[in-house]
Structure 1
């Protein structure tokens, strides 16, 4: 499954009402570290059927990052059953992202 693009308008349906856990990547076009982690998130998305990875561009969608207190990017927030479960700020290698996901979903 590829990563999905979401917006302020689709956030509730795509994330909060999802049957599966959703990792939301808050990013922007101008953010170098955001571009560094994008391939890792794509790979993780392709390897896991139990998780949705969604990307939201903070420049185009200012409401959602404000609502969840996103101050720096990249920020990844893992949502499950409509609740924010865990947050990571900054670029990480794929293995660390995968481990963080596993730990948060235990």
Structure 2
């Protein structure tokens, strides 16, 4: 599966309509972003059941700002409309595959429960 270009117009729908989305925040001028691009593309072929999406931080400044992207590339993993991973840095193929495996194995009910507990503690 080819990667999807995310914009402010299709971002919310893409996350709503798909259970598992990997997002690469990048820019054309960024060397590490260009190095990571083939790894990300290869992953999209290997993991065709996962939406692989890219956000050009130059063209989509609002999205980059909304998600507090300060360094690129930044990889974000969203499952069930919940951000479960967001870290800057280009990953080698093996590390990306390991991260995907870990994300697949997460119990999202448990994740949501922990988030609810943390937000409850923050409001207390």
> Which TM bucket (shorter chain)?
over 0.9
Structure 1 runs (4+) deviating above 6 angstroms are none
Displacement of 1:59 in angstroms is: 0.6
* Conservation of the 8 A alpha-carbon contact between 1:8 and 1:63: yes
Over aligned residues, Cα RMSD in angstroms? 1.1
Deviations 1:53-94 (A, max 9, x none): 000100100111211111100001001111111112111111
* Conservation of the 8 A alpha-carbon contact between 2:19 and 2:81: no
Displacement of 1:49 in angstroms is: 2.6
Which residue pairs with 1:83 in the alignment? 82
Which residue pairs with 2:10 in the alignment? 10
Q: Select the structure with the greater relative contact order (CA < 8 A; seq sep ≥ 6).
A: 1
* Conservation of the 8 A alpha-carbon contact between 1:25 and 1:76: yes
Determine which structure has more spread, i.e. the larger CA radius of gyration.
Answer: 2
The answer for unaligned runs of 5 or more in structure 1 is none
Which residue pairs with 2:28 in the alignment? 29
TM-score (norm 1): 0.92
TM-score (norm 2): 0.80
